[in-house]
Amino acid sequence: MKALKTITGAVFLLFVIFLSACEKPKKPGDDDVSTDKEKSAETSGADKKEGEISGENKITAKTSEMVFVEGGTFTMGCTPDRDGECLNDEKPKHKVTLSDFYIGKYEVTQELWDSVLGSNPAEFKGSNLPVENVSWNDAVEFCNKLSDREGLQRAYSGSGKNIVCNFNSNGYRLPTEAEWEYAARGGNLTKNYKYSGSNIIDEVAWYEDNLGSKTHQTGKKQPNELGLYDMTGNVWEWCWDWYSRNYYTSSGKTNPKGASTGKYRVYRGGSWLHDPQNCRVANRDCNKPDFRYSSLGFRLARTKL
């Protein structure tokens, strides 16, 4: 029986490594470029108080609650005293300055997704569960369609590898990787937690040890300093950026938007499928823009104009 459990656990670990281009565990000091990356398989503009929610304090299919995030400067990347063991692509730590922006209070739910696109691709069904099994391309399409519905200017144009984002539009978009990390750390209200909102992962996240191998309703764990839920765990969250393992060595200092091109898009935050190491705020991951899986979703962002 013990041998069977060992074999089962090993098979599961290999499965987790295979499903993502960037999820293979990396040891500090390992300088090889991972070949596993070749595998793919109504917000209100008047709300200006940091942490304040625009709209009613509930999840609704008609719109998405957005939280105003006051801009500021923070240390992006991994520091051992704050984040624990640092992986290569989380280094070096570096100062980043961001402008004001809005970000979703919750991960995009299946109810909201269905109200915009008239479908539900999720493996784990439930109106207030996060939508998952969506690709980066799917998320971009959703953002534009939601912007259309609310009479906002689309953020995205183009197609394929030529999709561009107009960060001066008022429409919905994905957060940049820097915006995501800044918000996950609590913005200017940060207490420098390892996970988003706590150093105790069970207080803020659904992950492999407490989830029961599925997603859970959004907003049921403790929020972070900005009032954002599930920034750690539940589902990974797509970001705008192209992934580059060494990007932090040359990242811009003001409103960075990732590598200029690439093969993989970034996602952050960990998921129901992952251990605490993968759920740290500092952790980075990625996959091809057309990749879909039941541990992968997103949350919305908007530029503060």
Give the bridge partners for 67, in sequence order: 53, 103
Higher-scoring residue by pLDDT: 212, 117: 117
Q: How far apart are CA 268 and CA 183, in angstroms?
A: 12
pLDDT at 167 over 50: yes
Contact at 8 Å (CB) between 241 and 257? yes
| Matching residue, tokens 């192209």 | 242
Residues 74-126: tens digit of each pLDDT: 999 999 999 999 999 999 999 999 999 999 999 999 999 999 999 999 999 99
Of 165, 149, 305, 186, nearest in space to 238 by CA: 165
pLDDT, residue 212, reads 78
Give how far Cα 249 sits from Cα of 6, 81, 290, Å.
39, 20, 27
Average pLDDT over residues 195-219: 94
Poorest-confidence range of 16-30, 62-76, 269-283? 16-30
pLDDT, residue 18, reads 42
Q: Is 17 left (phi over 0), alpha (psi -120 to 50) or beta?
A: alpha
Average pLDDT over residues 247-272: 97
Structural domains of the chain, with CATH = 61-303 (3.90.1580.10)
- Phi/psi of residue 179, nearest 5 degrees: -60, -45
> What tokens were used for 140?
């971009």
Q: How far apart are CA 238 and CA 175, in angstroms?
A: 8
pLDDT at 14 over 80: no
How many residues in total does the chain contain?
Answer: 305
Average pLDDT over residues 153-173: 97
pLDDT, residue 63, reads 61
pLDDT, residue 103, reads 98
Task: Provide the pairing of β-strand 53-54 with 66-69.
Answer: antiparallel
Contact at 8 Å (CB) between 37 and 264? yes
pLDDT at 54 over 50: no
> What tokens were used for 254?
């003001």
SS (H, E, C) 188-253: HHCCCCCECCECCHHHHCCCCCCCCCCCCCCCCCCCCCCCCCCCCCCCEEEEEEECCCCHHHCCCC
pTM of this structure: 0.84
Residue 57: how many other CB atoms lie within 10 Å: 8
Q: How far apart are CA 118 and CA 51, in angstroms?
A: 31
Of 136, 89, 83, 146, nearest in space to 113 by CA: 146
In percent, how much of the chain has pLDDT > 90? 77
pLDDT at 204 over 60: yes
Average pLDDT over residues 165-192: 98
Average confidence score pLDDT of the chain: 85
Confidence class of residue 248 from pLDDT cuts 50, 70 and 90? very high
Average pLDDT over residues 58-76: 80
